[in-house]
Every structure is written in C-alpha cells, then in structure tokens.
Structure 1
Amino acid sequence: MVLMNRLFKPLLHLFSASVLVAGNAYAEAYPQRPVTIIVPFAAGSGTDIIGRIVAEELGKKLGGSFIVDNKPGASGAIGSSAVARAKPDGYTLLITSSGTHSAAPWLVNKISYDPKADFSHVTVLVEANYLLLVGETSPAKSLSEFVSYAASKGDRLTYGYGSPTSQVLFAAFADLLGIHAEGIPYKSQPQTLTDLVGGRLDVAVADVPAAQPFVEGKKVRPLVISTSTRLSAVPTVPTLAESGYRPLGISGWVGVAAPAGTPVEIVERLNAALKEIVNQENVSSRFLGMGLKPNYMSLDAVTAFVSSQLEAWGNYARKAGIKPE
C-alpha cells in the first residue's frame, strides 16, 4: 500500500496540475464564438442601455462579439428563466437587477427560477438611486417638514407607485420615517409623477432617470436620495444620513450573471474584465449621467449581496402586504 501511494501521488498531482492548466487555457481563450447577453426588459429601457454599454466594452476588452438579446415580459422573469436554463458554458449571460433578483420572487407568482441557486453571479455594475418626491406646491420643503406634514394628515396621506418595485421601495421609506400612506397604483412612473405634479398625490418614490426631467423642470421637489453619498446628477439633494436617518435597507442595482455551473475560470475572467470596465472614466461617466452609481463587486461580495437583498426586499414586500401576482 505504501508503495502504491508513492507511485500514485505524483500521478495525482500531475493530473490536478494538468486540469488546472487546461482550465486556465480555456478561460484565456474565451470567448471563441459570439456571447449572447440577455436583457430581460425592452429595448430602450435603462437596463437595456446598461447591457449595451457592457456588451460593447466586453467586446473591446476580451475580443469577440457580445450581442444583446432583449427578452422582456413578466417583470423580467422570461429572460431570466431563459438564462437559468441555458448551457453553462459562458456563452449566455444575463443582465440582472433588483427587479429580477430581489423583487420579482416576491411579486411574481410561481416564478420559474431561483435567484441564487440558478445563477453564477459575476458582479454588480451599478447602484440605482431613488428619490422621495413631493409636488412643487407641497408645504414640505425638507424631509423633516414632510415627516411632520405626514403626521398631521394621518391616514389621508397618499402616495403613488408605477410598479410593484416602487411600492416596495415606498414601504421601505415609510418604515424608516415612521409614516403611513394610502397607495394608489399607476401603470408607469411618469404617470405617477404627472399626478404628483397635479397635486393628486402627496408623495412618490421614483428612480433618478425617471424623476430628473421633473426635478429639472421644477415640477417636483426631491426631499432625499437613497444613496450613501450625494449624486452628481442631483447634487443638491441630501442623503438619508445627512437627514439623520440610517440607510434604506434595500438597494436598486444592476449586474451580470451566468447560468449556475459556468466554469469558474470564465466567471473570474468576466469579473476581472468588468472591474476594469466599470472603473473606466468613459463608462463611469455614462452611468453617473444616467443617475447611476458605479458599484463593482468581487465574486464573494456579489454572492452575499444578492442573498441579503433578496431577503430584505421580501421583508418589505410582506410589510407592504404585497401578494405575488
């Protein structure tokens, strides 16, 4: 037995080294054919724009073609499910988001993918930022004044939401500020903001890209932004910390994932490339101009982040009384 161990140990080490070299060589040669990046939302959406930036820059960084394929529907579940079922070889990627991997599992009935188990999460690209807004004619000129105003209105305070995602976000703000409001559903964020301008709502939550035209036109008043630091797109809007509050607890975000089981060497190669891309001035400036904060994460960090955000969004969805539809 001792003799056999002496004979086979060197062979085992040689085999392990050969596998490692082969894996590294495979990753270094990647991609050898076009890579499809599925965006689970419509062309022209914010997520689509981010996906196209990523596709263009990955092509420059790694060589080869990275092609965006839009598969919208069911709050992003159709495209996400397609990637979850794809061959895990690195040639099908997904633009993930808080919509598909934090919120949708609590908002879409019988979702056909597991946000954690069905994916190898590569990184987060950006943090989406949300504004708590009142109409320009509102008596509340600051967050503290709004909290007092909300208390004076009691159950008569109204807020609008253009999607279940924004409904959950308002629930998080309400929990943080200790206020209560009656929710009124709309088909989109612009419709919500139009009624906020018209005085038919007291307050609303919207992402920066949707709210920015209304803010710049001085039709709505932003009271606070959900980020930890001020954002260049809306530099005069204070953060929650500046206003004396803890972080919101849930984040809007956009990232990249591959099907579960994708070779780790490829996932690592993509992560390294995207780290460089997110930190490029030409890319980060485009993200900031969209009201997004560049937020690269390592493989360990993104895995933990997706898990924690899934749990946090679920908690607020339950508090808001939202049922999957």
Structure 2
Amino acid sequence: MTHSRVISRRLALAGACAALAAMALAPTGAAAQAFPSKPITIIVPFSAGGTTDILARVVGQALTTELGQSVIVDNRAGAGGNIGGQAAARAPADGYTLFMGTVGTHAINAALYKKMPFDPIKDFAPLTRVANVPNLLVANPAQPYKTVQELIAYAKANPGKVNFGSSGSGSSIHLSGELFKSMAKVDMQHVPYKGSAPAVTDLLGNQIGIMFDNMPSAIQHVRSGKLRPLAVTTAKRSPELPDVPTIAEAGVPGYEATSWFGLFAPAGTPAPVVAQLNKAIVKVLNLPDVKKKIAEQGGEVVAETPEQFAAFIQKESVKWGKVVKESGASVD
C-alpha cells in the first residue's frame, strides 16, 4: 500500500471517528428539538363551561402565545375528576400532556373513594397553583328561600326535599354541600352531574333548588338575575360580590370552604421541562390581562414554585380528609 493511500485511509478513519463522537455528544431525534416542539394538551377532568375548564382556557390561550405552540383543552369528565386524572397520570411524561387538577382530584377524592385509579401525590409532578376560587351558594329564584337562614328553616321543615347539585361526587362543590349539611344539621339530597355546566343548566331550569358552585361558572347568572346568591363559602366576602355575605356571617358560624385549581404534569417529567413549564405558567398568570380575566370570574391568581404547590397539597389533603370523615360523605 502506498504512503499516500495509508494517509488517506487514516484521514478517513479519523473523520469517521470524529463524526461518531459528534453524534454521541449531540442530541438526536426528539431530544434535539427544543421544548416545546409540538402542541400541548391540558386535560380538564370536568365538562366544558365549568370553572376548571374556564381557567384552563384562560391560561392555555396565554401559554399558546408564550410558548409558541398551541395549547389544547381536552375535557375528560366523570367520577369526580378521576377519569381525567387517570388519563393524565398515564400520559407520557414529556411535558406535552398537562392536567388541570383541583382540590377535589388532589385533596378530597383519596378520602372519598375506596379505590383510586391514580395516586394524587405519586403520579403527578406539581407545576403551580393557578387560582383560589370561592364557592357560591346560589338558588333558583323560584325557590321560596332568599337567605341562608330561610334555606335552613325550609330544609328542616322539608327534610330530603332540597336538592343540591354538584359537578360530581367528591368534587369540592359536593363537599361544600356536605359540610353545610353537617354544620347546619339539615337533610338535603345530593344530585351529582358530570361537570358544573350541566348542573347549572338544571339549576337554571329549576330542576334542582340550590348549588354550591364555583364562582366563575355561576357569577354571570347572578349578575344577569337568573340565579339568586345566598352566600359565599369563604371566610371573607368576595370583592366581586361585596354585598353577598359569607355562610358563616349568614348563620353557620365557622363554615369555610375554598376551591383551588392547579396545573400538573405526569410524574417523571424531566426536571428541566417542569422548570420551563413553571416559569412560563407563572409568567402568564402575572400578566394583567390574565389576572383581570380570572378576577372577573371571582378567582384570585396564585403563582408559586412546584415545591410550594406540593407542600400546599399535602396540607389540603389532611384538611379535607378530616372534613370527609366528619361529614360522613362517601362515594363508594
């Protein structure tokens, strides 16, 4: 073999080795693409039109602009949020499937259901809380009661005849009603729906008498006069409805129930992706337009770190576990 051919072969071999080394060091395929490189889906475990859906769409629209990719809302209603929760928990842990969880899915259901299709703590990576939202006790105007005291008196005089709707068994709306039953010592009939929107529809049609609905999905009907507000469930009055008393003020001392909503990714989602999603979500939550939209619905924006959100969930699980036990509420 001539000297020149040996050199050529050595150069070729060196070039091949360099190429292989570069391929080993450089990310390939999907890993080479900056996140996000395709649309993101937010699974909402309740039907369209309810508070969880409203908040997901407000945040999703802002994230679409922030991340440069479409953010799609996928409603998977049923079983108090457990159907959607199961779908999200089983989704690929790549950041492209998120979950709009609630106090129900992540702090109440584990105490209510004997068999859960997912573990609220182990199967999810918390991103951030999105908002705290009061529940609003509303009645159809055709009902004979105009205040909480009148409702209690009517329920005691007509045990089992007051029907209260909810977005599903085990939801915060359901538990707000169960807590009210327990503390006011009244017998009312729970009517679960697959989401807040169909329950509100029946409330507007006077098929059910009252509802402890999340404020965002009820406030428009209160403002239009189609629903009568009796009280808010929080410890303080809502700035959006300052003339509406709290349930504690209206005759049930000590009563308090607040709904909250937050975004999660499936457990195992890479830490850099979790950090990027948290940063983007916190940024859009602090946008004046997003804050205004959530405030107009009666909600209060909460933007935090994944660690803060995880610690909050732990505390909420303890609190609502006690409420479930003390109220005697159960699903199965």
Q: 1:99 aligns with which of 104, 107, 119?
A: 104
2:177 maps to 170
Shift, 1:160, TM fit: 2.9
Residue type of the partner of 1:310? S
- 1:60-71 alignment, distance < 5 Å: 60-71=65-76
Q: Secondary structure at the match of 2:315?
A: helix
Structure 2 residue 93 is matched with structure 1 residue 88: yes
> 1:123, 1:297 within 8 Å by CA — same for their partners in 2?
yes
Q: Is the 8 A contact 1:215 1:221 kept in 2?
A: yes
- Residues 174-222 of structure 1: CA distance to partner in whole angstroms, max 9, x if unpaired? 55xx4211121335244356549xxx85x65232244435533556543
The aligned residue for residue 6 of structure 2 is: none
Q: For the residues of structure 1 that align with 2:235 and 2:303, how far apart are their CA atoms?
A: 16
2: CA distance, partners of 1:213 / 1:277: 24
Q: CA deviation at 1:283?
A: 0.9
Answer yes or no: is 1:319 the counterpart of 2:326: yes
Closer/same/farther in 2, CA of residues 179 and 46 from structure 1, 3 Å limit = closer
CA distance in 2, matches of 1:134, 1:39: 26
| Structure (1 or 2) with the larger CA radius of gyration | 2
Measure, in 2, the Cα distance between the counterparts of 1:306 and 1:135: 34
Which residue of 195, 205, 212 corresponds with 2:212? 205
Match of 2:45 in 1: 40
| Mapping for residues 273-284 of structure 1, pairs under 5 Å | 273-284=280-291
Matches within 5 A, 1:50-199: 50-133=55-138, 141=147, 145=149, 150=153, 153=156, 156=159, 159-163=162-166, 164=169, 165=171, 166-175=173-182, 178-186=183-191, 187=193, 188-192=199-203, 195=206
- Tell me the amino acid that sits aligned with residue 191 of structure 1: D
Q: What is the CA-CA distance between 1:64 and the residue it aligns to?
A: 2.9
CA distance in 2: counterparts of 1:93 and 1:54, whole angstroms: 12
Range that drifts further, 101-110 or 163-172: 101-110
Mean Cα deviation higher: 278-287 or 309-318: 309-318
- Range moving further from structure 2, 152-161 or 231-240: 152-161
Task: Output the aligned Cα RMSD.
Answer: 3.5
Q: CA deviation at 1:138?
A: 5.5
Q: Is the 8 A contact 1:124 1:297 kept in 2?
A: yes
CA distance in 2, matches of 1:153, 1:80: 37
Q: Which residue of 1 aligns with 2:12?
A: none
Q: TM-score, normalised on structure 1?
A: 0.74
Aligned length: 291
TM-score normalised per structure 2:
0.73
Q: Percent identity of the aligned residues?
A: 32
Q: Which residue is equivalent to 2:274?
A: 267
Distance 1:174 1:135 in 2: 19
Contact 1:27 1:265 (C-alpha < 8 Å) held by counterparts: no
2:11 corresponds to which residue? Answer: none
Who is 2:263 aligned against? 256
Classify the secondary structure of the residue corresponding to 1:129. Answer: strand
CA-to-partner distance for each residue in 1:114-172, whole Å, 9 max, x for gaps?
Answer: 0111100101111221123467675765x6x569x649947848643213333311233
Q: Secondary structure in 1 aligned to 2:47? A: coil
Give 1:241 shift: 7.5
User: 2:177, 2:204 → 1: CA distance?
Assistant: 14
Show the counterpart of 2:35: 30
Provide the secondary structure at the position in 1 that maps to 2:100. Answer: strand
After superposing the two structures, state which structure 1 stretch, 165-174 or 76-85, moved more.
165-174
